[in-house]
Structure 1
């Protein structure tokens, strides 16, 4: 019986490629095999706000993209999402779980900004459209539920190619979206600290903002633990800050300002104003 439901859901999905109901049918297809509380279909842009193409959330469950949080994520905070960074920094595609890609301090560092305290598990697909755009299918469980099992993840991985092909066909048939809102958010992150920090300090600062611990930064940069601590001390001394959480809070505040100038080091401006 389940195979029949799977086949019917796949036929329904295929028949709705290029229609406004495609993502809803995609949700139905996943629901046949997996239990989840929320699915988001997002389009990441390196030079524009993230677009929310579709959102499904179980009634009674606390969903990540809702109200003010939705606006903050789609227009600003997406730049720090591990899934977005995996696409923007490494050009990765395929299926991933948050546990395997998130920096080691991410969940604790960003719990105030991303609604991760109620998140049980999160997995997702990255389907590049071109060098600057990527479709992201984000699937989550909330509350007192179990994490996705290894069997679930194996099934998700097996679906990468067929789902990616269907999504590519759908996007091609739907054509360009005229509602893209260009922004300098990615540019603001990449320029943060470049004018006042040394090359090594800048690298450490970028990794701190993404949620990496001192130990993890040492591993990534192939430098010693004490060397990372020295760079952190220099960063905080130059910026009149005292911790990773303060550095993060400052960057979040800057992100949410009314305007972000292109090719400007907003950390340098902050220091000059002190």
Structure 2
């Protein structure tokens, strides 16, 4: 079958799926005509609210780590979501566009990339009247990285994907809303998990959890690297821990009231 015929038929299926339960799967199939990927997790983002689950094809035995834990609070450490919160996201991005300098050494990377044997992730953002769809895509071969050509081809397709999503969610505006978790604020959550920290120490925790090195956190907070080291030492002492992994565990596993 010629590529143009495959694209036309895939496009037709996506159009027919608007307003049906098969829509997300058909849109993903349309996106695969531009870029090969396997894993897919789709959520709807809104500022200061927990993401809403829309779709995923994650294996059942991995859902508690990959999906449930992410939806609980790990999304606050997701570099793509951080870029969205900061208003700096592009319609299509890959991990190297958004990851902090020490991200590959972070516990978030260890759980969500290394344990899944993934080297890369590609994101597609689609703005809707009631939020932004966030497509998180994993390469078909976990050992490979997405190319700039993959990004360019998805950027070319993005207006079509956006138009289809606008039509579908206009017809089905409540899709995914059953998983809404209420308002959440990263700083408030850190203050709850670590109640004895100063405001500056909370800012240091936020930058370290998101994968910034001492030098990067210093630039971010406009202080010296030596000051960051002092803050980190005081944070560990106050919390009774001795490593960033312990800090990550406290953040991830403290039960909400």
TM-score, normalised via structure 2 length: 0.83
- The answer for unaligned runs of 5 or more in structure 2 is none
Task: Say if 1:13 and 1:22, in contact at 8 Å, map to a contact too.
Answer: yes
Mapping of residues 1-274 of structure 1, within 5 Å: 1-46=2-47, 49-56=50-57, 66-69=62-65, 70-90=67-87, 92-109=89-106, 110-117=108-115, 118-129=117-128, 133-141=131-139, 143=141, 145-177=143-175, 179-183=178-182, 186-187=184-185, 189-193=187-191, 196-254=196-254, 257=255, 260-261=256-257
Give the stretch that moved more between structures: 171-180 or 107-116: 107-116
Q: Please give the alpha-carbon distance, in whole angstroms, between the structure 2 residues aligned to 1:34 and 1:128.
A: 21
Query: What is the CA–CA distance in structure 2 between the aligned matches of 1:214 and 1:31, rounded to whole Å?
Result: 39
Give SS of 1:136's match.
strand
CA positional deviation for 1:188: 5.7
Which has the larger displacement, 15-24 or 86-95? 86-95
Highest relative contact order (Cα 8 Å, sep 6+), 1 or 2? 2
Change over 3 Å in CA distance of 1:65–1:171 after alignment to 2: farther
Contact 2:41 2:55 in 1 (8 A): yes
What is the aligned-residue RMSD (CA, Å)? 2.7
Cα deviation digits, residues 135-174 of structure 1 (max 9, x gap) = 1111112655421112111112222333222212211111
Q: Distance in 1 between matches of 2:18 and 2:94?
A: 26
* Conservation of the 8 A alpha-carbon contact between 1:40 and 1:54: yes
- Gap runs ≥5 in structure 1: 58-62, 262-274
TM norm structure 1:
0.79
Q: Secondary structure at the match of 2:197?
A: coil
Q: Aligned-pair distance for 1:251?
A: 0.9
